[in-house]
Structure 1
Amino acid sequence: MKAVFQHIKGDKTIWAIVAVLAIFSFMPVYSASTNLVYVVGSGSTLGYLVKHMVLLIMGFAIIYGVHKIPYRYFSGGSVLMLPIVIILLIFTLAQGTTIGGANASRWIRIPFVGIGFQTSTLAGLVLMVYVARYLARNKEKAIVFKESILQLWLPVSLVLLLILPANFSTTAIIFTMILIIAFVGGYPLKYIGFILGAGIIALSFFILIAKAFPDAMPNRVQTWQSRIDSFSSSEGKEAYQVEKAKIAIATGGPIGVGPGKSVQKNFLPQSSSDFIYAIIVEEYGLIGAILIVFIYFLLLFRVFVVLKKTTTIFGTLLVIGVGLPIIFQATINMAVATNLFPVTGQTLPLISSGGTSIWMTCFALGMILSVSASKEETEEDILDDNPLDILHETID
């Protein structure tokens, strides 16, 4: 065991939290996958469990590999990755795919692997690092709004506009997180107000265009509207899911019905992903529900511990940009399951089944651990970092 700890760096508590969430996820995923096996008629429960375990093992490999990289390289890496991400988003939006008979234009299929990849999660991660880079490089300078529009907000708006048609909730989370980073990074508050207003106007314009030309983006605005209507009126497909989730939570009681004994998992269409928290509450009760909330808030606390120890502006903004979305996503997922928020399609990080979400969460955690492991980085090293240097060092 000591030999293992010698090879891992950074905040050991974060490593422990990730391990606890990953190990705990095995039973809920195995239990909830019976819906896919016996109702949808796809695969086997053991097969879904093995797949989930493999994805988590790959996730831990990602964390290990990323946390070994000096975090200054993420700054230049974001510049190199941004055009790649834009191309992937355009390709995803153009071709889309179908998963389980449903339209899933936010996914692309990885060849020879058979796993769907959600490009918007990668785009969000790259965008957070890019924004942190810009703010760190301009921290000591007077922000010129016109220049920042070209250098910062044009790439941000382009990426968000490419994500929006297929995934409104992810767009909203990324945009909110970027505004938070901008505020923390010292971007003028009045300009943040302008950007927020422009975002609202752009969303309104998009909705009007989608309403006027429904064939161009079929079912997207209708989906958003139906989710909001279902949340307020308790009617529709989303309301059915929420109703079953509420029954699962009510059935759980203080200590739950026991691992694997959930009944509502057979009725919840997204029992192993979007609504897995409801299944956890049903099987493990109020105690399990509170424990999960506590673990995520412990992760949030450790993120702030890393923030306190970080010596560079970029490191601080990087940890905020990639760390807070994990907690935000978990909070939204649990709020949806408990009917405190409309259905969004956000998974429970490190617990829900799904490859892209697990991998990108692990990549973000690897970045945080890289920051916490670094003690010799200086602001000059990061600000002088050239994106081309990464290519040169990789080739060498």
Structure 2
Amino acid sequence: MPDSKKRKYDYTLLAALFLLIITGLVILYSTSAYNGEVKFQDSFYYLKKQVFATSLGIAAMFFMANTDYHIWRHLAVLGYITAILLSVAVIFVGDEYNGSKRWLSLGPLSFQPSEFAKVAIILFLAHIVTKNVKQMGNMKTLLKVMISILPIVGLVGASNLSTAIIILGIGVVLVFVASPKYGQFLWMGTLGAGFMAIFLALESYRLERIAIWRNPEAYEKGYQTLQGLYAIGSGGLFGRGLGESVQKLGFVPEAQNDMIFSIVCEELGLFGAGFILILFLILIWRFFVIATQAQDLFGALIASGAMAHMMIQVILNIAVVTNTIPNTGITLPFISYGGTSVVFLLLEMGLVLSVSSLVK
């Protein structure tokens, strides 16, 4: 392990993160109170579960932040194999919700293995790329690295295409960071486009989503997209006011999930939505700074992977809500409801904080 000098954690990152978490909890309550009252006779139902998951995630974050990140390199391959096994388990014994089989149950608790897979992929690729850094300019090595993650991409993509795209995107970014040559990525992009075309064609519902995206008015399933756009348009510059959304009252189904940004726009307007986007930009900026200042390539790749994860997921969610791309069912980090997501996102933040605690 390289000699290192201890330094304080990145407090700009921590401040933006906690501000985002608090904002997310307030917005989640405002968005989910109606659904909670109707379905569970408890307007705080979703908020209580999210607060519990967030508390677990913060504890995991500080544990990871105070643990030398080099330790996880020894467990990176095991973590990747575990992610594959959990993804296989989802296919055979997973729980189905809203037509998607993405959850595994452990007694009273359930979680999405795909969220664990994102963290596992970052550590696995950081380890593999660091191990083969001298050969990263070779196209053969690049292909080997990308092929190594295709099993998890295929398994996750069978039930969750959006997460598979995020995992693939993380892989491309990490390989790009470590590669001295950029021309090779044109070939990789072509191969990736071909892979996506085949993957979309394997299931008719994925092609149907493209048709709905192009003309949502013509399809019954385009209802959610249209209602989300109505919510965005009715918010104006300053919004209707916190808690005053009309679209969350059953017009936008499951508004607390992947369509929550449309309710943000309706209640807080362009300025409120812009404030949240600024917080995400600060996180992404700090990830970049930490990556450039990391004491070694392994740490730089961890921070770069977290940056890619956050950037891709935020862009995909907002693109879906604004109907820029077909609906993929991706959540907005720290804002949308989802216990598994927030726990593993915070665990990932802990890894980045651990990297930031060491300087060259």
TM-score, normalising length: structure 1: 0.82
Q: Read off the aligned partner of 2:12 and give its amino acid letter.
A: T
Q: Read off the aligned partner of 1:95 and give its amino acid letter.
A: V
Q: Read off the aligned partner of 1:256 and give its amino acid letter.
A: G
Matched, 1:107 2:103: yes
- Counterpart of 1:265 in structure 2 is 248
Q: How does 1:160-179 map to 2 (within 5 A)?
A: 160-179=153-172
Deviation at 1:154, TM superposition (A): 4.1
The answer to whether the 8 A contact 2:37-2:43 is kept is no
Q: Match for 1:139 among 122, 133, 136? A: 133
Q: Read off the aligned partner of 1:161 and give its amino acid letter.
A: G
- Counterpart of 1:249 in structure 2 is 232
Aligned-partner Cα distance in 1 for 2:270–2:326: 22
Computing the radius of gyration from Cα coordinates, the structure with the larger value is 1
The answer to whether the 8 A contact 2:136-2:142 is kept is no
Aligned-partner Cα distance in 2 for 1:303–1:122: 20
Q: Read off the aligned partner of 1:296 and give its amino acid letter.
A: F
Aligned-partner Cα distance in 2 for 1:53–1:374: 31
Q: How does 1:303-322 map to 2 (within 5 A)?
A: 303-322=287-306
- Counterpart of 2:19 in structure 1 is 20
Deviation at 1:95, TM superposition (A): 2.3
Matched, 1:64 2:62: yes
- Counterpart of 2:215 in structure 1 is 233
Aligned-partner Cα distance in 2 for 1:259–1:356: 26
Q: Read off the aligned partner of 2:42 and give its amino acid letter.
A: S
Q: Read off the aligned partner of 2:101 and give its amino acid letter.
A: S
The answer to whether the 8 A contact 2:36-2:44 is kept is no
Aligned-partner Cα distance in 2 for 1:367–1:135: 18
Aligned-partner Cα distance in 2 for 1:128–1:191: 21
Name the Cα RMSD after superposition.
2.3
- Counterpart of 1:373 in structure 2 is 357
Structure 1 alignment gaps of length 5 or more: 1-7, 211-220, 377-396
CA distance 1:35–1:227, shift in 2 (3 Å): farther
Matched, 1:291 2:275: yes
Q: Read off the aligned partner of 2:215 and give its amino acid letter.
A: S
SS at match of 1:343: coil
Matched, 1:130 2:116: no
- Counterpart of 2:4 in structure 1 is none
The answer to whether the 8 A contact 1:136-1:313 is kept is yes
The answer to whether the 8 A contact 1:70-1:374 is kept is no
Aligned-partner Cα distance in 1 for 2:170–2:229: 29
CA distance 1:153–1:334, shift in 2 (3 Å): closer
Aligned-partner Cα distance in 2 for 1:322–1:78: 15
Aligned-partner Cα distance in 1 for 2:140–2:25: 50
Give the number of aligned pairs. Answer: 352
CA distance 1:189–1:309, shift in 2 (3 Å): closer
Q: Structure 1, residues 134-186: CA drift from partner, whole Å, max 9, x if none?
A: 11122234766656656x34431111111111111111222122112111111
The answer to whether the 8 A contact 1:66-1:366 is kept is yes
Q: Match for 2:327 among 336, 343, 346? A: 343
Deviation at 1:334, TM superposition (A): 1.8
- Counterpart of 2:3 in structure 1 is none
Q: Match for 1:50 among 26, 43, 48? A: 48
Deviates further, 19-28 or 133-142: 133-142
Aligned-partner Cα distance in 2 for 1:345–1:120: 13
The answer to whether the 8 A contact 2:170-2:305 is kept is yes
Q: Read off the aligned partner of 1:164 and give its amino acid letter.
A: G
The answer to whether the 8 A contact 1:319-1:371 is kept is yes
- Counterpart of 2:150 in structure 1 is 157
Q: Structure 1, residues 79-117: CA drift from partner, whole Å, max 9, x if none?
A: 121111111110111223122xx222122123233x3x1
The answer to whether the 8 A contact 1:323-1:368 is kept is no
Aligned-partner Cα distance in 2 for 1:201–1:339: 23
Deviates further, 272-281 or 199-208: 199-208
Structure 2 alignment gaps of length 5 or more: 1-6
The answer to whether the 8 A contact 1:96-1:104 is kept is no
Identity %: 28
Aligned-partner Cα distance in 1 for 2:347–2:93: 26
Deviation at 1:69, TM superposition (A): 1.3
Q: Read off the aligned partner of 1:347 and give its amino acid letter.
A: T
Aligned-partner Cα distance in 1 for 2:191–2:165: 14
The answer to whether the 8 A contact 2:136-2:179 is kept is no
The answer to whether the 8 A contact 2:129-2:136 is kept is no
Aligned-partner Cα distance in 2 for 1:341–1:194: 24
The answer to whether the 8 A contact 1:25-1:351 is kept is yes
Aligned-partner Cα distance in 2 for 1:205–1:337: 25
Aligned-partner Cα distance in 2 for 1:300–1:168: 23
CA distance 1:81–1:344, shift in 2 (3 Å): same
Q: How does 1:179-258 map to 2 (within 5 A)?
A: 179-186=172-179, 189=182, 192-207=185-200, 210=202, 221-234=203-216, 235-258=218-241
Aligned-partner Cα distance in 1 for 2:341–2:165: 17
The answer to whether the 8 A contact 2:174-2:301 is kept is yes
Q: Read off the aligned partner of 2:259 and give its amino acid letter.
A: F
